[in-house]
Structure 1
Amino acid sequence: MLLKKTLLIAALLSPSLFVSAHEYTAGGLHIEHPWSREMPPVAPTAAAYFVVHNKGAEADRLLSVSTPHAGKAEMHEHMHADGLMKMQQVQEVVVPAGGEVKFEPMGYHVMLFNLQQQAKDGEHFPLTLTFEKAGSVEVKVAVHTDAPASAAPKAEVHAH
């Protein structure tokens, strides 16, 4: 009996449990570690990030994002144009077959507007990703004071 309890405790404390708790699957898509940076309480916006891996044989498209945490959620991308860094909304993001798309600082990201309140470090909020083929999947976005070690770069500025 003691051995069973010890094994149960070891399984519950296993790092792999924490990793899998922050990974999601929709069809052939695997969504890895959705996160957002804690912002000052007066900040009007926030951003969410994650990685989508497509293990399928066909491309899929992320068509929309939504959350009850914000009045509006949009997919955006940073681009270099005429020597300047610009940010623009995108209507869809293609996830190639056998490939991945990173939503990260200075790349694709989800902008959250009209926030009821800024989330704090350690909190989570739901984000629904709707794909053309894989359908909708709700993920929990973890809020951190800094970017997780797996995310780079650490510097980020949003001037919306």
Structure 2
Amino acid sequence: MNSIHANTAFSRRVKQLVLGCALIGMAWQVSAQTRVDDAWVRATVAGQPSTGAFMTLQADSDSKLLSVQSPVAKTVQIHQSSMKDDVMSMRQVESVELPAGKPVSFDPHGYHVMLMDLTAQVKEGDKVPLILTVENAKGDKETIKVEAEARALGMADHSKMH
């Protein structure tokens, strides 16, 4: 009888451990996660003081991009380009809303990241480190490290081709 009781207690303990691990796994999946796709930076010519970084962001929950940092630039800002009366203008924005499950494109014609006061020329093929800070609706912050490939000045953006 003691042997059966010990096996039952052991079996119960294993089930609790498995359930606990499963719950931890679910909690991890429930936490906010933001995916970054097709991150790239426009290559520069010698002496060029700034460039842009582009990508697509998709958050699992309502979130917002708060900031971007990079060691290749002294100043990094999030900008939005817009067309008004046939004039393209660009302005800095404090953050960019990332609605749950919807991709938000950062491209030369809309939101993008400006890398200003570059510390060196960004050459085609370079890997440019970017550190994104995203905050979800609960106020939890997520830091995402990305290596964006530098693409040539005249290179077409093939991610938009069908």
TM category, shorter: 0.7 to 0.9
Match of 1:86 among 85, 89, 94: 89
TM-score (norm 2): 0.71
Contact preservation (8 Å) 1:128, 1:136: yes
Displaced runs of 4 or more, over 6 A: none
Which structure's CA Rg is the greater one?
2
Counterpart residue number, 2:130:
127
- Find out whether 1:69 has 2:65 as its counterpart: no
CA distance in 1, matches of 2:69, 2:105: 18
What is the DSSP-based 3-state SS (H/G/I as helix, E as strand, rest coil) of the residue aligned with 2:159?
Answer: coil
> 1:1-150 counterparts in 2 under 5 A?
27-54=32-59, 56=60, 58-133=61-136, 134-145=141-152, 146-150=155-159
Structure 1 residues 151 and 70 mapped into 2: Cα distance closer, same or farther (>3 Å)? Answer: farther
CA shift for structure 1 position 87: 0.3
Give the aligned length: 125
What is the DSSP-based 3-state SS (H/G/I as helix, E as strand, rest coil) of the residue aligned with 2:108?
Answer: coil
- What CA deviation, in whole Å up to 9, does each residue of 1:16-74 have, x standing for no partner? xxxxxxxxxx93321002101211112111110000022x2x31000011011100100
**Aligned residues: CA RMSD:** 1.7
CA distance in 2, matches of 1:38, 1:83: 27
CA shift for structure 1 position 80: 2.3
What amino acid is aligned across from residue 141 of structure 1 in structure 2? A
Unaligned runs of 5+ in 2: 1-30
CA shift for structure 1 position 82: 4.1
CA distance in 1, matches of 2:85, 2:49: 28
What amino acid is aligned across from residue 98 of structure 2 in structure 1? V
Structure 1 residues 39 and 151 mapped into 2: Cα distance closer, same or farther (>3 Å)? Answer: farther
**Structure 1, 129-138 or 91-100: larger mean CA deviation:** 129-138
